[in-house]
Chains A and B, each alone.
Chain A
């Protein structure tokens, strides 16, 4: 299905990453936004509150982030595309109901404009240190999908993509941007509505009494049950069977959690999105995501100019982690480098998958500013030795 032209601001704009996220959500057909103000994500909520009234959407500023996340799950079960955004401490507060969203297999999108942490940390300065929280922040075992835009243009595009993934895999999807991308103003080209492909929710075609909210399917994703159509279904955050009924034993737990894990892992190749450059004959491959994938460019260009065979991988998706690709490369290259604004979160995954087959390097720091190109360059020189 194509986007509704009413919702799409087709044309060239000068927008910051946060406004671009809002425009992406609106173009994707989002009609409910429950949010709570927090720096540096607030402009997303502001833009949505400004645009929704004439588009038939509802923006509501909830009393806190716990409520924001809970409200978007409720509205999603009401059949409406729903989103929230947050930063820093707000992301921690949302983890409780993010877990409920995972457990109830509820499509929705959550944008985290990352700032420096822990705690109140650096409200107005960037960080990328919520990446492991994105992966494991809610208690229990599950898989997530997380995207990391590097620009306002990508913020627009990836929020739409996140909505599509959330509907396709019936789960909350994270967009992990950061303060730099959120507050950076650049040209954003919004295409005509007919060029924006939207995936609609798959609902059961079974009759009331026959449809199960967590029916097993060959692709691991159960179609949803519409509310108000006589299905009289039940869903719970407790471990549940295919009917959605709580069953508190190890066997049901195994099936329930396996479904949450398998539905992402089964489709990992399809979900994982990497942009590779000069990797084929590389001796060193540098990996980065979000703003860091742009910050490394001068250092990489200088190294290549000097004849260093360096390739790069920009991770558009960070979770699920591109395990297969990293294992492959580790057998071929001298070194793998991860550049991220934290002290080694996604690096740990890269290092694990490299499994000692090549050297691994982290260019990391605690956040507050982007990387110094010199640090990146020096690490490349070290890695190629």
Chain B
């Protein structure tokens, strides 16, 4: 069966509804893991059939921090590490919106680490998608709090010797109600996880293991971004509900993936309303967001 070329050429980009086409091409390198991660977010939003007017995305700084700029949603590119507290303010002002934080490991875990743990502790109804490429990419490949021991970076030229964070354990022990990890090549499973995270009331955390082709792969001589993406995928072991103490990632080791945590807990606003009722009885009106009717 022969197919005419014209039939293959599509007028529109399949994600046109969700991308700012006036900003494409993006700045990301070829075979960077960010592309498929954004695809998973877009697919999740489409499949959830949400009213896209009611979805906002907030990013910090870094390669992943640029995601907010490419999504055709109300979108905020904030300061380094502060995407979560900015998103917290936005969410409290407008609890009717779905607020998604999309940022990288350096941004969310290092400079923004304090905000991550406290916002998880409060169980604020946010979805945090953390793309972990094990390195500071935007600034040129420096060591991150996620860099595995022995991996090289621009500032660990002889191999990293610091213990990295185990992100699912960090998020879960801080209070997140939904925690999952997938690699950038698990597009379908990642999409499902993002859908579940968005739907889940409370603080959800999805870690995405993604290759940084230009820096991490090159500095560690791990082949192309595609090779590394395949490596992560092929070396992942699905372990839903795993003991999170055992999901550390060693250098080029097996990677435990799956849905680790999915529990019910009152959200920050639920707790605030509960506290209000406890203190004031019927005089307290449950918080509904906005300017409080003014």
Contacts and interface: CB of A to CB of B under 8 A. Distances in A.
Query: Is this pair of chains taken from one and the same complex?
Result: yes
Interface of A: 4, 6-7, 29, 31-32, 34, 53-58, 60, 62-64, 66-68, 70-82, 96-97, 99-100, 227-238, 245-246
A49 to B, nearest CB: 11
Sorted nearest first, the 6 A-B pairs with minimum C-beta distance are: A78-B93, A56-B292, A74-B89, A75-B89, A236-B77, A67-B85
13 contacts: A31-B291, A32-B89, A55-B292, A66-B85, A74-B76, A75-B90, A76-B93, A100-B78, A228-B74, A229-B53, A233-B75, A234-B76, A235-B76
Given A232-B73, A237-B79, A56 B285 contact: yes
Interface of B: 20, 22-23, 52-54, 56, 58, 68-69, 72-79, 81-82, 84-94, 96-97, 114-115, 118, 272, 276, 279-280, 283-285, 287-294
B284 A80 contact: no
Nearest to A243: B22
Contacts, number: 164
Contact of A70 (B82, B96, B279): B82
Contact of A53 (B114, B115, B279, B291): B279
A230 B74 CA distance: 8
A63 B82 CA distance: 12
Nearest to B86: A74
Contacts of B20: 234
Given A64-B114, A74-B76, A82-B89, 19 more contacts: A31-B292, A32-B89, A60-B92, A62-B85, A67-B88, A67-B114, A68-B85, A70-B78, A70-B86, A71-B86, A71-B92, A74-B89, A78-B91, A97-B82, A228-B53, A228-B54, A232-B74, A234-B20, A238-B77
A186 B283 CA distance: 31
A278 to B, nearest CB: 43
Contact of B89 (A56, A78, A235, A237): A78
Nearest to B74: A227
Given A63-B114, A228-B74, A228-B96, A77 B279 contact: no
Contacts of B89: 32, 34, 70-78, 82
A58 B92 contact: yes
Contacts of A230: 53
Pick from A4, A67, A77, A237 the residue with the most CB of B within 10 Å.
Answer: A67
Contacts of A99: 79
A31 B77 CA distance: 24
B72 A53 contact: no
B52 A232 contact: yes
Given A53-B284, A66-B85, A234-B20, A78 B92 contact: yes
B131 to A, nearest CB: 18
B77 A75 contact: no
B205 to A, nearest CB: 17
Given A53-B276, A53-B284, A236-B69, A79 B74 contact: no
Contacts of A233: 74-75
A246 B67 CA distance: 13
A245 B27 CA distance: 13
Contacts of B118: 62-63, 67
Contact of A227 (B78, B92, B94): B94
Contacts of B285: 54, 56
Nearest to A236: B77
B74 A74 contact: no
Contacts of A31: 290-292, 294
B168 to A, nearest CB: 21
B290 A80 contact: yes
Contact of A32 (B53, B93, B114): B93
A238 B66 CA distance: 11
A81 B92 CA distance: 12
Contacts of A78: 89-94, 97, 289-290
B102 to A, nearest CB: 13
B280 A53 contact: yes
A62 B88 CA distance: 10
A246 B69 contact: yes
Contacts of B79: 70, 96-97, 99-100, 237
A129 to B, nearest CB: 26
A237 B77 contact: yes
Given A57-B292, A74-B58, A227-B56, A66 B74 contact: no
Contacts of B74: 227-228, 231-233
A74 B87 contact: yes
B126 to A, nearest CB: 11
Given A63-B114, A78-B94, A237-B79, A71 B294 contact: no
A228 B287 CA distance: 19
Contacts of A71: 85-86, 88-89, 92
Given A29-B294, A96-B79, A231-B74, A74 B88 contact: yes
A4 to B, nearest CB: 5
Contacts of B279: 53
A79 B289 CA distance: 10
A96 B85 CA distance: 13
Pick from B69, B87, B291, B293 the residue with the most CB of A within 10 Å.
Answer: B291
A245 B70 CA distance: 10
Contacts of B76: 74, 77, 234-236
A100 B79 CA distance: 7
Nearest to B93: A78
A80 B79 CA distance: 21
A58 B118 CA distance: 17
A341 to B, nearest CB: 31
Given A75-B90, A228-B94, A66 B82 contact: yes
B291 A80 contact: yes
Contact of B293 (A56, A77, A97, A100): A56
Nearest to B118: A63
A63 B293 CA distance: 28
B90 A70 contact: no
A235 B90 CA distance: 14
